Amino acid sequence: MVPFAVSERISSIKSPIREVVVPAKKLEAAGRKIIFLNIGDPNKFDFDTPVHMKDALKAELDSGCGFYSPSEGDPDLRKTVAEFETKTNGKSFDVSDVLITSGLSEAIGFLNAVLVTKPGDEMLVPGPTYPPYIDYTKLNMGVPVAYRTDEDNGWQPDLENLRSRITDRTKCIVLINPNNPTGAVYDEKTIREVVNIAGEYDLPIVSDEIYDQLIFEGRHTPTLKVSGDVPVMLFKGFSKSYLAPGWRVGYVCFHDPHGRLEKIRDGFLKLARLRLCGCTPVQRACIAALEGTQEHLVETRRKLKERRDFAFKRLNEIEGISCTRPSGAFYIFPKVDLSVGGWKDDFDFVMDFLHAKGVVVVNGSGFSTEFGKDHFRSVILPQVEVLDEAFGLLDEFMRTKKKRN
Ligand code: PLP
C-alpha cells in the first residue's frame, strides 16, 4: 500500500546530526559496540548540571509552580536575563527585550517563520552552520545561503564572500560565535566588519552566542559590544554553558536602537503565544543559573581544553586527516582526503567508518553542502581515553583503506 503523502516542505528536512544515529543504533542492537561522537550533549559524558540549578528546580517543583507561565517567559527569568546580558554586553536590556524559548532551537524556528516573508527569501548563514539554520529556512520556503568561512584562516568569516552573497532577498545575517561545527571564535575586527556590512545593506544580525562561555584561549567578543546602531537579535540559552540541554531553555534579546525590529518582535511573540508557554519550573530554576556561582565553568573549560588539545594533536597524526584547532565550543571539524578510501563523498566516508569501526561522526556536508563537504564533525566531549580509542580506530581505518587502494 502507498503511504499517505506529506508536504514537500517536510521532505526537505535532513537533521544530519541525528540521521547518522539510525544505522548506528541498528548496529548497536545487533550487538556491536558503538562510540557516539555525533551529538553535542555534554550530559551524555562526564559533565553534569550544576548542583545549585538542580536544587533550584527541586524547590520550584515543591513550591507548586506547575502552572502556565506567560508566553514571553517567566517574568523573573526575563528580568535576570536582561540584567545578565546588560552586564555581559555593555548594552542596556529591559525585561521587554527578552523572550524565553523552549531551547534556542525554538527561537531558530520562530526566526525563520517570521523573517521568511515569501518563498525564496534568503537567510545568510555561516558555511558551515548548525543545521537547523538550514532546515527551518527550507521549512518556511526560504533559501539558506551560506557565506564562506575560511578554514585556512581558522574558519573566520570570509568577508568578501559574505558581501557577495547579499541580494535584495536577504533578510538577515546569522553569526554563530563560537561556531558549531568548526569551534572557531571570531576576532573582534571580523565581527566589526560584519557589522559594517550589515549596516551598509540595512540588515539585522542574528548573533548565536550559545557557546560564549566555552572558550579555551583568547576572549569572546560579543557582537553587541561592537554593533553600534545595527539591530541585533542575540540568541543564547542554558544547554551548553550551563550543562542543561535537556531542560530546553533558550532566549532571545532584542537590541533595537531605532525600533526597526518592532514587527519582528511581535512575530516572535505571536508564535510564542501559539505554543502557550515554555516549561515553568525549569524557567524559574534557570534564574539560579545566572544569579548563582559560575564556578562549574572553570572545570568545564579545563576538561574541554584538555580534550581539544588531545583531539587536535591525535587527528593531525592520521594520514589523510587534517584539522585546524578549535578555540571554543565542543567540536572539531577535520578534513578528510577522500581519495584515501575512494569514498564518493563525506557521507560515504562516515558510513564506511561507522560500519567498519563502530564510531559515529557527522558528515560535514550536513553543515553546508558547499563549505562543509570533505569534512566530518566530532564532539570533543568524551574523556581522553575514549577519544584515544575512537581516533585510534580512525587511524587503523585510514591505514587499511590506504593499503587497499
Ligand atoms: N545554536 C547552536 C549554534 C547550537 O549548536 C545549538 C545546539 O547544538 C543550538 C543553537 C540549540 O540549542 P538548544 O535548542 O539546546 O538550546
Q: Which residue has the higher pLDDT, 218 or 255?
A: 255
CB 182, CB 312: distance < 8 Å: no
| Co-location of 24 and 103 in the same domain | no
Instruction: Give SS3 for 68.
Output: coil
Which grid cell sits at 207? Answer: 548573533
Residue 230's pLDDT band, with cuts at 50, 70 and 90, is: very high
* pLDDT at position 11: 81
8 Å CB contact between 391 and 315 = yes
Do 302 and 287 lie in a common domain?
no
Residue 266 sits in the same domain as residue 308 = no
Residue 331 pLDDT > 80: yes
Task: Give mean pLDDT, residues 13-30.
Answer: 86
* Minimum-distance ligand 1 atom for the alpha carbon of 329: 5
Q: Are residues 218 and 265 in the same domain?
A: yes
Distance, CA of 173 to CA of 57 (rounded, Å): 36
Confidence of residue 394 (pLDDT cuts 50, 70, 90): very high
Please give the C-alpha separations between residue 54 and each of 50, 154, 214, 250, 290, in angstroms, as whole numbers. 7, 37, 21, 17, 13
Check residue 225 and give its pLDDT.
97
- Dig out the grid coordinates for 180 from the structure: 558549531
Q: Give me the domain span that covers residue 76.
A: 67-291
Q: Is the peptide bond prior to 128 cis by the omega test (within 30 degrees of 0)?
A: yes
- Identify whether 57 is part of a domain: no
pLDDT at 29 over 90: yes
Last-in-domain residue among 260, 291, 322: 291
Structural domains of the chain, count: 2
Confirm whether 275 is domain-assigned.
yes
Report the pLDDT value the prediction gives residue 10, as an integer from 0 to 100: 86
Q: Is 218 helix (H, G, I), strand (E, B) or coil?
A: coil
Helices (H), 170-275: 188-201, 223-226, 262-274
Q: What is the chain's mean pLDDT, rounded? A: 96
Domain shared by 122 and 79, yes or no: yes
Give the pLDDT band (50/70/90) at residue 18.
confident
User: Nearest-CA neighbor of 369 among 129, 22, 191?
Assistant: 129
* Within-domain flag for 55: no
3-state secondary structure of 167: coil
Whether residues 287 and 326 fall in one domain? no
Q: Point out the domain boundary residue: 291, 326, 345.
A: 291
C-alpha dist (Å) from residue 383 to 182, 311, 363, 379 = 20, 10, 22, 11
Select from 245, 269, 291 the last residue of a domain: 291
Please report the pLDDT score of residue 404 as a whole number: 77
Residue 61 lies in a domain: no
Residue 85 has pLDDT above 90, yes or no: yes
Are 176 and 212 in the same domain? yes
Cα–Cα distances (Å) from 398 to 102, 174, 336, 345, in that order, read: 41, 36, 10, 15
For ligand 1, is residue 208 a contact (CB within 6 Å)? Answer: yes
Residues 382, 314: one domain?
yes
**58 belongs to a structural domain:** no
Say if residue 179 is in the same domain as residue 311: no
What one-character DSSP code corresponds to residue 358? -
239 lines ligand 1 (CB under 6 A): yes
Q: Residue 210: CB within 6 Å of ligand 1?
A: yes
The percentage of residues in the chain with a pLDDT greater than 90, rounded to a whole number, is 92
Q: Is residue 216 part of a domain?
A: yes
Question: Ligand 1 pocket test: which of 39, 41, 180, 380 has the largest number of ligand atoms within 8 Å of its C-beta?
Answer: 180
pLDDT at residue 16, rounded to an integer: 72
- Confirm whether 27 is domain-assigned: yes
Q: Are residues 254 and 348 in the same domain?
A: no
100 lines ligand 1 (CB under 6 A): no
Tell whether 153 and 255 lie within a shared domain.
yes
133 inside domain: yes
Q: Check pocket membership of 330 for ligand 1, CB cut-off 6 A.
A: no
What is the structure's pLDDT at 19?
Answer: 75
The predicted-structure confidence for 177-207, as pLDDT tens digits, reads as follows: 999 999 999 999 999 999 999 999 999 999 9
* Residues found in the chain: 405
Tens of pLDDT, residue by residue over 253-305, are 999 999 999 999 999 999 999 999 999 999 999 999 999 999 999 999 999 99
For residue 399, what is the domain's CATH number?
3.90.1150.10
* In contact, 360 and 21? CB cutoff 8 Å: yes
Of 22, 3, 335, the closest CA to residue 151 belongs to: 335
Confirm whether pTM is higher than 0.95: yes
Ligand 1 centroid vs 210 CA: distance in angstroms? 7
- The CATH number linked to 283 is 3.40.640.10
Q: What per-residue confidence (pLDDT) applies to 62?
A: 95
